[in-house]
Amino acid sequence: MTASPSVIVAVPSGLRAEFFTEDDLALLGAAAAGLAGDGLAVAESVEDAAARFDLAAVQVVVIAWGAPRFDDGLLDRLPSLRLIAHTGASVKPFVSEACFERGVAVTQAGAGMARSVAEVSLAFTLALLHRIPRFDHALHAGAEWADAEDAPARHELLDAPVGVVGASRTGRAYLGMLRALGARVLLADPTIDDAEAEALGATLVPLSTLLAESRIVALHAPSLPETRGMIGATELATMPDGAALVNTARSWLVDENAMIAELRSGRIDAALDVFDDEPLPAGHELRTLPNVLLVPHKAAGTVEGRLRQGRIVVDEVGRFCAGESLLHAVSAADLERMA
């Protein structure tokens, strides 16, 4: 007889091992045992689960990147579904309005990524302050020692004016690191007030002030209609000579062509983990500029971060099965504002 599990972890085996320890899977199994059905099952994907199991009793599906969209057609095949738990952050590609219309709860584990991304933002910040990308590029390109030494003024992080755009999860983690290292932090975020900014160790200022006064501008805002292209040619032109841009958030926050024009001039530097075109084409100009540090969208994905993400999902499934409130729930309104 075909098994009819109550909880399915539909995550490819390699990725599943990054998210979940054996203890985590045991906890999921214990939670599943309290639901009607045949407990926990694992599969390589939702499609694999559909081929191997009877989906009639499935109440919880754990997914990862590459999952199908849970539209009416898929939901019809999962008549008992009550929770979709994503091991990543944005559920926009996977969750449809039909999920909320049918009373399916949604949760995600983006909070588990925050420290990893914040640490890369900090690494970018230090590298740019000390002009490491310029030195590294010059030496790799075969420049003479004296020529390789040629770079704009270098600075320490202590008392450096650092502007943070967005008090998101990653923004707050980054703010904590800056505060610990003694930076002078400016914050632009229309969703918080002066007291909240002060509690985060920052001074709340308009974006225009932040851009004009910061040695490092670090982007941690979400990609929303109102933030898309928020840093354009006009805004970039107000950054001081020798300043630098850190972007581990979304490329679309910045007009990429305007940014490249400023970088090409050598007036500012940048460290980037996100790009308009991914994978970044082999012949892209950003790959050639000596004042740009590039990472192939890998700020998240550390061993520790992946395990945190998995534990968030395990805890959320446990709460759900126990009839408790979710701590990382995604609402229909949240979905509208997700990238």
pLDDT band at 335 (very low <50, low <70, confident <90, very high): confident
**Domain boundary assignment for the chain:** 7-108+303-337, 114-294
* Residue 201: predicted pLDDT: 98
Angle at 259 between CA 253 and CA 265, to 5 degrees: 165
Residue 124 predicted with pLDDT over 80: yes
Residue 239 tokens read as: 């950054």
Assigned CATH topology for domain 7-108+303-337: Rossmann fold (3.40.50)
Mean pLDDT, to the nearest integer, of 283-288? 98
- Given the residues 278, 285, 324, 336, select the one marked as catalytic: 278
Q: Which of 266, 251, 268 is nearest to 129 (CA)?
A: 268
pLDDT band at 96 (very low <50, low <70, confident <90, very high): very high
Mean pLDDT, to the nearest integer, of 68-77? 98
Three-state secondary structure call for residue 227: coil
Q: What is the C-alpha to C-alpha distance for residues 138 and 198, in angstroms, rounded to an integer?
A: 41
Phi and psi for 132 in degrees, rounded to 5? Answer: -60, -40
Half-sphere exposure of 254 (CA within 13 A, CB side): 30
Q: Edge-to-edge strand order for the sheet containing 40-43? A: 40-43, 7-10, 60-63, 83-86, 105-108
Q: What is the C-alpha to C-alpha distance for residues 99 and 82, in angstroms, rounded to an integer?
A: 9
Q: How far does CA 250 lie from the centroid of its chain?
A: 8
- Given the residues 220, 250, 311, 328, select the one marked as catalytic: 250
Residue 1 predicted with pLDDT over 70: no
114-294 CATH: 3.40.50.720
Residue 338 predicted with pLDDT over 90: no
Report long-range pairs for 191-196 (Cβ below 8 Å, ≥24 apart).
191/167, 192/167, 196/167
Q: What is the C-alpha to C-alpha distance for residues 237 and 293, in angstroms, rounded to an integer?
A: 20
* Residue 81: predicted pLDDT: 99
Mean pLDDT, to the nearest integer, of 320-337? 94
74 by Cβ neighbours in 10 Å (0-12 / 13-18 / 19+) ranks as buried
Q: Let me know if 297 is a catalytic residue.
A: yes
- Given the residues 82, 267, 284, 297, select the one marked as catalytic: 297
* Residue 239: predicted pLDDT: 99
7-108+303-337 and 114-294 share one fold: yes
Q: Let me know if 278 is a catalytic residue.
A: yes
CA distance readout (Å), 310 to 171, 181, 203, 251, 339: 21, 30, 35, 27, 22
CB atoms within 10 A of CB 33: 14
* pLDDT tens-digit readout, 240-285: 999 999 999 999 999 999 999 999 999 999 999 999 999 999 999 9
